[in-house]
């Protein structure tokens, strides 16, 4: 981790074997991830192991996180820098927390893709059920917005609409051939079109 987070680096302060683990008040934590009163739903020690494998410390940009925090607290409120950094880490923890719960359910049901339902269920299970209803609403609005932007994908035959524009008349008169003389004086590049009958539903392509 960057910055002055040395005080939160548990490896520097923990005793071997975790013999002196205080009851969750201080920095110490035992290696096997024993938690005091936590409602951890995982049956395996992943969370404890994850604490030691911090090479994947991926965070959301601090500017975004800070902005959301700032908008949430009263106007006159301030947020300490280490508080912002801390929430940044909490966010990654939250995402991992939800994801691993959702992923586990997926595996149990022999599915490979985590879907929206899995996420909502995970939130409900992990004590975030107050988010579920608002999230469903947001999802609905998001879907509506996406539909509006993309438009309905065109499954109907394209040729029909084009057929209206291109009448048979356009192709009945062959255009005069361009004259290209050997000496290059007069060079006309003309459009060559074929004069065969327009085939319905097939767009006539002009090469020019």
Partner 1 sequence: MKMSQNTPDKDEDQTSTSQKTISLPISRVRLIMKSSPDVNCINQDALFLTTKATELFVQHLAVSSYNNRAKQETKSLSYSDLANTAEENDTFQFLTDILPKKILAGDYLKSLEQLQEDDADF
Among the listed residues 84, 26, 29, 24, the one whose alpha carbon sits nearest the alpha carbon of residue 51: 29
CA 36 vs. chain centroid, Å, equals 34
Among the listed residues 169, 206, 170, the one whose alpha carbon sits nearest the alpha carbon of residue 191: 206
Q: Whole-number minimum distance, CB 170 to partner 1, in Å?
A: 44
Q: Distances in Å between the alpha carbon of 30 and those of 19, 25, 26?
A: 8, 13, 12
Helix (H, G, I), strand (E, B) or coil at 207: strand
> What residues numbered 98-127 form the site for partner 1, per CB under 8 A?
98-100, 102-103, 107, 112-116, 118-120, 123, 126-127
Number of residues that bind partner 1 (CB under 8 A): 87
**Does residue number 133 form part of the binding site for partner 1 (CB under 8 A)?**
no
**Does residue number 153 form part of the binding site for partner 1 (CB under 8 A)?**
no
Q: Whole-number minimum distance, CB 154 to partner 1, in Å?
A: 21
> What residues numbered 27-86 form the site for partner 1, per CB under 8 A?
27, 29, 33, 35-40, 46-47, 51, 56-65, 67-69, 71-74, 76-80, 82-83, 85-86
> What residues numbered 173-192 form the site for partner 1, per CB under 8 A?
none
Report how far residue 5's alpha carbon sits from residue 16's, in angstroms, rounded to the nearest whole number.
21
């Amino acid at each position: 981790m960057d910055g002055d987070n040395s005080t939160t680096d548990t490896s520097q302060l923990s005793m071997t074997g975790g013999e002196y683990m205080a009851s969750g008040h201080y920095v110490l934590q035992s290696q096997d991830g024993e938690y005091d009163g936590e409602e951890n739903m995982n049956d395996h020690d992943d969370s404890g192991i994850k604490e030691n494998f911090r090479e994947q410390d991926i965070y959301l940009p601090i500017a975004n996180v800070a902005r959301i925090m700032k908008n949430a607290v009263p106007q006159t409120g301030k947020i300490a820098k280490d508080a912002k950094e801390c929430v940044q880490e909490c966010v990654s923890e939250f995402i991992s927390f939800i994801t691993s719960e959702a992923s586990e359910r997926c595996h149990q049901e022999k599915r490979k893709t985590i879907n929206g339902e899995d996420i909502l269920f995970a939130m409900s299970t992990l004590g975030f059920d107050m988010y579920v209803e608002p999230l469903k609403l947001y999802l609905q609005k998001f879907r509506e917005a996406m539909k509006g932007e993309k438009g309905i994908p065109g499954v109907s035959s394209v040729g029909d609409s084009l057929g209206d524009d291109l009448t048979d008349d356009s192709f009945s008169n062959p255009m005069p051939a361009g004259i290209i003389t050997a000496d290059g004086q007069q060079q006309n590049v003309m459009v060559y079109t074929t004069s065969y009958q327009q085939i319905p539903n097939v767009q006539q392509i002009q090469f020019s």
